Amino acid sequence: MPDAWDEDTKTVTGDQVDAARRLSSGRRDRAYVIVIAGPNVGEMFKLDDVQVVGRGANAQVRLSDSEISRNHARLVLEAGGVFVEDLKSTNGTFVNGDPITYRELEDGDKIQVGTTTILKFSYHDDLDEEFQRHMYDAALRDSLTGSYNQKYFLDRLESELAFAERHKFHLALVLFDIDHFKRVNDAHGHPAGDAVLRELAAGVLESVRKEDVFARYGGEEFAVLSRGLDTAGAVRFGERLRGWVEGHIFAPEGTPIPVTVSVGVVSFPDSPIQDPAAFLKTADEALYRAKGLGRNRVCAPRDFQFR
């Protein structure tokens, strides 16, 4: 077997050379902030004109940190530079550890908003942006379904429950599991099972709100965290989800595969649980009660009564 160092050098085409030149000569003149600490870690925002940083629905750089004000700060592109301005936030805005009201940013500056979220300001080109987004997706998303992964879900569950408790806000957890999924794999093969998971996840992603957290919690188990839903609302959402799955035709190889899900829900403060592990356990118990009652149904905590 010849040594790899002795192999002939591969010929590079003119088109490949041109493409490489375009990538390597890209100017790093696009302003971005990247979340390097906090619930949205890894997320990247391109800056354009004036953008508000906050947790409010109208913020362009929207962050899910309960310590951040709705309109916390703003980033302004003007006079050939980028400036950050604190918008009289509750917990302040800091650049490289110093409190600020208005300041011009330099490449590499770190902007702290609130007490836990830190943004890194920098300039990028096309290649930088593509690489950063790939790294973000790889770190936070499940590679098969495109939903968030378990680690991200558990981190968000902790922060969202703390936010709901602090602000007396409703937070629902909808946990669902594909019924008899092993039979799908056994009868149709794992590639077909993977196709079912991808198709189901794509359908759920289309139905949830942008601010909801949809994650793959286990092999065939998924979770949705949704602000503003009480238990009755979570049950209705779970029922819509269950009905869509039952009525959808999954046919990855041309042969229809019947698929149903069992759903368990819990909502704070209807269930006054402040511990994330206990909150998750309550939803899990409701899910397994749904399975025990025959599957393809939605269950809430035993003590919940519709009003």
Distance CA 43, CA 61 (A): 10
Distance CA 196, CA 181 (A): 10
Distance CA 64, CA 53 (A): 11
> 278, 257, 271: which is closest to 299 by C-alpha?
271
Q: Is 222:230 a contact under the CB 8 Å cutoff?
A: no
Given 160, 199, 220, 221, the catalytic residue: 220
Strand order, beta sheet including 298-299: 213-216, 221-227, 171-178, 261-268, 298-299
Q: What is the DSSP letter of 148?
A: B
Ramachandran bin of 74, using left for φ above 0, alpha for ψ from -120 to 50, beta for the remaining angles: beta
Active site residue 220: yes
- Give the three-state DSSP class for 122: strand
Measure Cα distances from 149 to 141, 217, 272 in Å.
5, 7, 26
Distance CA 301, CA 270 (A): 10
Catalytically active residues are 220
